[in-house]
Amino acid sequence: MAKLALLGGEPLVKERLGKPWPIWGEEEEKALREVLHSGLWWRGGYADWKESKVGQFEDAFAAYQHARWGIAVTNGTQALECALKAAGVEPGDEVIVPALTFVATATSVALVGAIPRIVDVDPQTYNISPAAIEAAINEHTRALIPVHNGGYPCDLEAINALAQKHGLMVIEDCAHAHGSEWKGRRVGAIGHFGAFSFQQGKTMTCGEGGIVLTNDDELAEKAYSFMHIGRLSGRPFYEFHRVASNLRMTEWQAAVLPCQLQRLDEQVETRERNITYLAEHLWQMEGLQPLPRDREVVTRWSFYYWNFKFLAEAWEGVSRDTFLEALRAEGVPCGVGGHGRPIYRNPLFQQMNFGRTGFPLKCPCCNRWRIDYREVYCPEAERIYRTEACSFPHAMFLGPQSDMDRLLAALQKVWENRDELRRYQDEGETGAITEITVEGR
Ligand SMILES: Cc1ncc(COP(=O)(O)O)c(C=O)c1O
């Protein structure tokens, strides 16, 4: 039996799995040079905005995601803010968000003055639980933000049905899910809005960027206005209708994104091929399990990170964190379930750090908090975070199938050495959960 790299042996994976990220080529260089020489570096430089690179990308990406309208913005956090404002979310309203996500899903809600209500996730998919949503709805609830965690589409049928029943807006957080499909429809406009991120690590990137999608003409107009300092399309340039920020994407960003979109289908297919192969083998391995996937429902799974489960019982005392430490030492990038801890565990929430007045979380009349995040506890999210969830980054799956064989060999090596690992762990070499992200940051 080969000695674990963690215990001084040779790492099994000596060369990178997959490809370095981001991927770019002559197409991006050419498009960026075009912008430079045009002297038109913002979308407003064109008489018809739709002729700008931003305008053209909005149409192309909306069509790709099966949506009618796209409103490009500066980043994914502001895509959420723009959608929330256009959805009519205002101070004092409540918006339901999942515990397992990136913090921006909740902070975007607070940034528009509303109250994020954080609820538990489904143990099978790690996505927001429709039952938990239903239990959290009250007279203040105005919207829901289901996050397609890791790119795995949420149960949008159940979520839309709840929204309809209670008169709520649905904003899909699609930061991880460019190209993912739910029953043959791409995510992003299955709810009222979809918000995407094009930040550096995402499966399509221009460093920073975002877009809001919708099928609704009126909502699209509002989102456009909130992106553009409160202007209305077709009205004079110096006429303003809303309190709104400048969220405009630049031509530089929009030069890069179509080139990225061109490559996306092939990348999604390569990733799908590799994870299908990996999942088939994981099902045969003791101790590790992929998330269950119903191919009739999740018809396309474009993922930002690929979550899988560590089955603690089978490992007879070896913890998930010791397993990840050993796997990393073998040369495999891996992390603790995407973004790590349930979001309410951040100092922001634990210290109730909402400014001098605390408004609107603190009622100005009775000075009492409307919600105390120190009391929020989501048992499934806690268990998943502490003991079960493991993730691989997306770029790891852009290589040949032989990469999956190397990955499986590393997993097998760690499994076979579990007695050694248990001894290592019992000697007290490991500490608290290492919150390494899947990108290794
Ligand atoms: C689920 C989720 N929502 C929103 C965002 C925010 O996107 P951005 O970093 O572009 O602001 C991210 C970024 O990682 C994310 O993972």
- 164 exposed, middle or buried (CB, 10 Å; 0-12, 13-18, 19+)? exposed
Fold adopted by 26-260: Aspartate Aminotransferase; domain 2 (3.40.640)
Residue with tokens 């723009």: 82
Mean pLDDT value of segment 361-387: 93
Atom of ligand 1 nearest to the CA of 101: 1
Atom of ligand 1 nearest to the CA of 75: 10
The pLDDT mean for the chain works out to 95
Least confident of 88-97, 104-113, 426-435: 426-435
Quote the pLDDT of residue 436.
59
Contact 389, 335 (CB under 8 A): no
Mean pLDDT value of segment 110-124: 97
Separation of CA 209 and ligand 1 centre (Å): 10
Contact 121, 145 (CB under 8 A): no
Quote the pLDDT of residue 438.
61
Contact 181, 187 (CB under 8 A): yes
Q: Dihedral sign for Cα 1, 436, 99, 248, please.
A: negative
CA distance 176 to 417: 34
Atom of ligand 1 nearest to the CA of 104: 4
CA distance 50 to 71: 11
Flag whether pLDDT at 69 surpasses 60.
yes
- Cβ 160 under 6 angstroms from ligand 1: no
Domain locations in the chain as residue ranges: 26-260
- Cβ 175 under 6 angstroms from ligand 1: yes
CA distance 273 to 222: 40
Separation of CA 186 and ligand 1 centre (Å): 19
pLDDT tier for residue 433 given thresholds of 50, 70 and 90: low
State the Cα angle at 54 between 78 and 60, rounded to 5°: 100
- Cβ 125 under 6 angstroms from ligand 1: no
CA distance 218 to 220: 5
pLDDT tier for residue 441 given thresholds of 50, 70 and 90: very low
pLDDT tier for residue 432 given thresholds of 50, 70 and 90: low
- Among candidate residues 241, 252, 197, the one with its CA nearest the CA of residue 28: 252
Least confident of 14-18, 70-74, 120-124, 362-366: 362-366
- Cβ 76 under 6 angstroms from ligand 1: yes
Flag whether pLDDT at 289 surpasses 50.
yes
CA distance 130 to 346: 24
CA distance 141 to 2: 56
Flag whether pLDDT at 201 surpasses 70.
yes
